[in-house]
């Protein structure tokens, strides 16, 4: 059985024979289709088979992505005791950070404090992050402190630089690699590699379809349940969701193992790498430019991508004893240098580096400036303003935060949930159309022969380039073509054998 046999379409009636039609053979040289008429069969065949074969991976990514979008607000409910405290009476002010950190150290004397996240709004707890040698890489212990009483509200594992808590981290692992490690990451990269191809192919097919009125292009048709009605919903919802799905595919690929490396390399060559903040006080191997300071490189599998998946956050080594102005004076110095967002994270000094105070408000307009402060005297060592990021670095930052549901808060999370739900419905409708059309046959093999060489050759070159840049897309496409060709040869061999036997 070939791939064509899986969806063989009922033959359409050709109508009664015209008795006035002239006898004789048909025109031996029919007009060769041009433009979209020549390209449509190839796009249809690719869209159909990519949908059938890749849809299971897309469905897994969509379901886990829907759960991830909902996990961001769910964490606030599930961990409300750790994240929130009763509103202070009489306008009480928060205690100094030093006292809050001291309370966390008293609760966990075996832990080394690496960072502090003060509450961003009244009623929010302060999160004190501690290194735990027994924890997996990228995992810290978060001690939640009441900023008004210094009482300990609880402890939870904290993952990556985004500070994801256990619920979101587990769902993120399901979305990224199905909890199968590096092998499982191939599933999400394969899904992200094909999502934009399937989405754009569907848009071309839907827009190029003949219809009675333009309204049917944007709004689904009603009527009795049928393949036509299902196609109408599949096409219109796909059209509305296409831009978002392509954006999810592009930002998702930046986390991927193979395509992500290529994307990072291109971004670096174009001068779009994320700038690094230098927090170095004295020369040394632990000087904070990167992992020690929390700065990232912007693309690939680390830097900007920490916190979605395995988490590539590294905790800095606690600084050696010496002169230290303390966390409160370091924050005051950073505030004086322009760090004015209420949402900040303070990375404590590592060997040879100073305090790093970073804005963490990723909602619009994003406030992501950072300042390095000398722990000896409070002098500003370096400043990094988000406004000074290269354009590509800004787009990367915003795209990643939007993919994680952090850029526009609840609106962003609801939009992600809507896109994931739309993708789930598109897959279900696609399989339903396939089922309603059985036994059917998609576009016959050899559709590429109808494409004019002036279009086919550039298309083949572009496909080869994209296949090299997005390796799992290229490899799976080659595998699909090889299997399809092999099954076609087997089918023709069997047909010839049956013909000889019956002849």
Q: What is the pLDDT of residue 32?
A: 62
What gap in Å lies between CA 226 and CA 229, rounded to an integer? 5
**Which has more pLDDT, 7 or 363?**
363
Q: What is the pLDDT of residue 52?
A: 83
Q: How far is CA 404 from the centre of its chain?
A: 7
Q: What is the pLDDT of residue 365?
A: 84
Evaluate if residue 18 carries a pLDDT over 70: no
pLDDT per position as a tens digit, 284-334: 433 333 333 333 333 333 344 444 543 433 444 444 455 789 999 999 999
Which helix H or strand E contains 157, and what residues bound it?
A: strand 152-159
pLDDT per position as a tens digit, 245-282: 999 999 999 989 999 999 999 988 988 888 999 999 86
Evaluate if residue 369 carries a pLDDT over 50: yes
Evaluate if residue 136 carries a pLDDT over 70: yes
Number of C-beta neighbours around residue 63 at 10 A? 17
Q: Which two tokens stand for residue 343?
A: 């949402």
Evaluate if residue 180 carries a pLDDT over 90: yes
SS3 category, 443: coil
Which of 23-27, 123-127, 222-226 has the least mean pLDDT?
23-27
Average pLDDT for 339-367: 92
Average pLDDT for 205-218: 87
pTM of the model: 0.82
**Which has more pLDDT, 43 or 1?**
43
- Closest by CA to 238, choosing from 379, 430, 87, is 430
Sheet hosting strand 112-117, strand order edge to edge: 152-159, 139-145, 126-131, 112-117, 344-347, 355-359, 370-373, 380-384
Q: What is the pLDDT of residue 387?
A: 93
Q: What is the pLDDT of residue 16?
A: 38
What is the band of 132 on the pLDDT scale with cuts at 50, 70, 90? confident
What is the band of 444 on the pLDDT scale with cuts at 50, 70, 90? low
Evaluate if residue 5 carries a pLDDT over 50: no
What gap in Å lies between CA 388 and CA 445, rounded to an integer? 53
- Closest by CA to 255, choosing from 302, 191, 206, is 302
Average pLDDT for 82-100: 87
pLDDT per position as a tens digit, 31-77: 666 778 888 888 888 898 888 889 999 999 999 999 999 999 999 99
Average pLDDT for 83-105: 89
Ranges assigned E (strand) in 5-125: 112-117
Buried (b) or exposed (e) across 305-323, using 16+ Cβ within 10 A?
bbbbbbbbbbbbbebeeee
Q: What is the pLDDT of residue 187?
A: 94
* β-bridge mates for residue 370, sequence order: 358, 384
Number of C-beta neighbours around residue 349 at 10 A? 28
Which helix H or strand E contains 69, and what residues bound it?
A: helix 35-78
Q: What is the pLDDT of residue 373?
A: 96
Q: What is the pLDDT of residue 299?
A: 35
Number of C-beta neighbours around residue 123 at 10 A? 13
DSSP state of 271: T
Q: What is the pLDDT of residue 20?
A: 37
- Closest by CA to 155, choosing from 100, 201, 108, is 108
Average pLDDT for 381-386: 95
Evaluate if residue 28 carries a pLDDT over 90: no
pLDDT per position as a tens digit, 453-498: 888 888 899 999 999 999 999 999 998 888 878 877 887 888 888 8
Burial class (CB in 10 A: 0-12, 13-18, 19+), 469: middle
DSSP state of 155: E
Residue 207 phi, psi (nearest 5): -70, -35
The contacts of residue 425 (CB under 8 Å, 6+ apart) are 233, 237
Q: What is the pLDDT of residue 492?
A: 82
Per-chain mean pLDDT for the chain: 83
Average pLDDT for 226-237: 91
């Amino acid at each position: 059985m070939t791939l064509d046999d899986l969806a063989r379409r009922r033959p359409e009636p050709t109508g009664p024979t015209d008795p006035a039609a002239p006898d004789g053979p048909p025109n031996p040289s029919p007009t060769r289709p041009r433009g979209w008429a020549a390209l449509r069969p190839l796009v249809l065949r690719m869209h159909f088979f990519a949908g059938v074969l890749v849809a299971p991976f897309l469905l897994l990514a969509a379901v886990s992505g829907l759960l991830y979008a909902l996990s961001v607000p769910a964490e606030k409910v599930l961990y409300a005791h750790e994240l929130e405290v009763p509103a202070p009476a009489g306008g009480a002010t928060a205690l100094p950070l030093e006292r809050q950190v001291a309370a966390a150290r008293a609760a966990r004397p075996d832990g080394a404090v690496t960072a502090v996240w003060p509450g961003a709004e009244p009623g929010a707890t302060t999160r004190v992050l501690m290194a735990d040698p027994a924890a997996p890489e990228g995992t810290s212990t978060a001690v939640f402190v009441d900023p008004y009483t210094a009482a300990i509200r609880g402890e939870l594992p904290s993952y990556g630089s985004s500070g994801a808590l256990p619920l979101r981290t587990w769902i993120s692992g399901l979305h990224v690699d199905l909890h199968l490690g590096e092998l499982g990451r191939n599933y999400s990269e394969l899904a992200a590699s094909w999502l934009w191809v399937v989405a754009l192919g569907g848009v071309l097919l839907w827009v190029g379809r003949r219809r009675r009125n333009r309204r049917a292009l944007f709004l689904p048709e009603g009527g009795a349940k049928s393949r036509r009605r299902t196609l109408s919903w599949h096409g219109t919802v796909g059209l509305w969701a296409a831009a978002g799905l392509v954006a999810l595919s592009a930002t998702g690929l930046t986390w991927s193992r193979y395509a992500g490396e290529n994307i990072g390399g291109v971004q670096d060559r174009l001068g779009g790498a994320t700038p690094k903040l230098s927090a170095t006080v004295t020369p040394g191997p632990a000087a904070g430019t990167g992992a020690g300071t929390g700065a990232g490189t912007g693309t690939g599998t680390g830097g900007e991508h920490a916190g979605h998946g395995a988490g590539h956050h590294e905790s800095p080594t606690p600084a050696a004893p010496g002169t230290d102005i303390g966390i409160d004076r370091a924050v005051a110095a950073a505030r004086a240098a322009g760090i004015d967002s209420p949402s900040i994270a303070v990375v404590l000094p590592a060997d040879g580096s100073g305090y790093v105070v970073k804005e963490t408000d990723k909602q619009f307009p994003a406030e992501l400036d950072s300042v390095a402060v000398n722990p000896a005297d409070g002098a500003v060592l370096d400043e990094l303003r988000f406004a000074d990021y290269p354009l590509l670095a800004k787009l990367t930052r915003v795209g990643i935060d939007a993919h994680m549901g952090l850029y526009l808060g609840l609106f962003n999370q609801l939009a992600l949930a809507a896109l994931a739900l739309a993708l789930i419905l598109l897959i279900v409708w696609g399989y339903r159309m396939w089922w309603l059309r059985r036994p059917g046959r998609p576009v016959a093999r050899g559709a590429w022969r109808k494409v004019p060489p002036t279009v086919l050759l550039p298309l083949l070159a572009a496909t080869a380039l994209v296949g090299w840049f997005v390796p799992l897309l290229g490899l799976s496409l080659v595998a699909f073509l090889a299997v399809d060709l092999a099954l076609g040869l087997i089918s023709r061999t069997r047909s010839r054998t049956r013909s000889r036997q019956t002849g």
